[in-house]
Amino acid sequence: SYELTQPPSVSVSPGQTARITCSGDALPKKYAYWYHQKSGQAPALVMYEDNKRPSGIPERLSGSSSGTVATLTISGAQVDDEGDYYCYSTDITGNEWVFGGGTKLTVL
Amino acid sequence: QVQLVQSGAEVKKPGASVKISCKASGYNVASNYMHWVRQAPGKGPEWMGKINPGIGSTTYSQKFQGRISMTRDTATTTVYMELSSLTSDDTAVYYCAREYCTATTCYNGNLDYWGQGSLLTVSS
């Protein structure tokens, strides 16, 4: 089955830049989406189609994708950015959607 | 405003089935796919499948093929997810989530509204 691989954790100080990667064999041909989840809440979309921000998401969040790796970049990280981040994409057929294992972002 | 309201918590025994509902309102329900995503305690989300509420067509994750069914009731704008042959591994919070669509395009991976979640506990 298709897998998306993320680092388990990323830690930065407030104001620094956090980069969260997502690796998958189909990413050269399929878009990556990114979800942020805080404890006890449903996931919320923060980036779609590799690098597009939904309404209300600040410009300091950006996305990119190159080859088999998609990256979510959070510039000027804030305590409110903490939580779990999941990449989301589909296998090469487009029929099977998969979440990455998740990356816990700590800002302190 | 868009709302997805799910049914309440369930406790089931191994081998049983569960049917979870998701009542949608505040938009044209027939226009947007509805996805089901579950999240086991301490784990990441897991995509289960999707349904087109307009025509009832479905796509299921291979993992759940044969024991999952998604249906809809157009009169009450409610979608349902039924999972059978439950085991303790099915203990999770189950979410319905709407796929974002504009007038001309749907964005498959863009799940813009989520239900509040329904906790399923499978235990003997």
Identity of residue B58: T
CA distance B69 to chain A (A): 16
Query: Using an 8 Å Cβ cutoff, are B36 and B94 in contact?
Result: yes
DSSP structural state of residue A5: B
Query: Using an 8 Å Cβ cutoff, are A93 and A28 in contact?
Result: no
Which of B33, B114, B118 should we substitute to test contact with A (largest number of A Cβ atoms within 10 Å)? B114
- Measured between beta carbons, the chain B residues lying within 8 angstroms of A101 are 44
pLDDT at B26: 95
Mean pLDDT, residues A14-37 taken together: 97
pLDDT at B108: 86
Mean of per-residue pLDDT scores for chain A: 96
- Residue A3: pLDDT above 90? yes
* A-chain residue closest to B41, CA distance: A40
pLDDT at B104: 85
Rounded distance, CA A107 to CA A77, Å?
A: 7
pLDDT at B29: 92
Q: What is the pLDDT of residues A90-99, one digit of tens each?
A: 999 999 999 9
Q: What is the pLDDT of residues A39-82, one digit of tens each?
A: 999 999 999 999 999 999 999 999 999 999 999 999 999 999 99
Cβ of A92 under 8 Å from any chain B Cβ?
A: no
CA B95 vs CA A91, B48, B78, B81: distances in Å: 22, 10, 14, 10
- Measured between beta carbons, the chain A residues lying within 8 angstroms of B45 are 35, 37, 43, 86, 88, 99
Determine, for residues B44 and A99 on separate chains, whether the beta-carbon distance falls below 8 Å: yes
What is the interface size between A and B, counted as CB pairs within 8 Å? Answer: 58
Tokens of A28: 């050269």
Helix, strand, coil share (%) of chain B residues, nearest 5: 5, 55, 40
Residue of higher predicted confidence among B107 and A14: A14
- Tell me the CA end-to-end span of chain B in Å, nearest whole number: 40
Helix, coil or strand: residue A103: strand
The DSSP bridge partners found for residue B59 are B50
Rounded distance, CA B38 to CA A100, Å?
A: 14
pLDDT at B19: 98
User: How many angstroms from the chain centroid is the CA of residue B53?
Assistant: 12
**Could you identify the residue written with the tokens 């044969």?**
B66
Within chain B, which residues score under 50 in pLDDT? none
**Cβ count within 10 A of residue A12:** 16
pLDDT at B103: 82
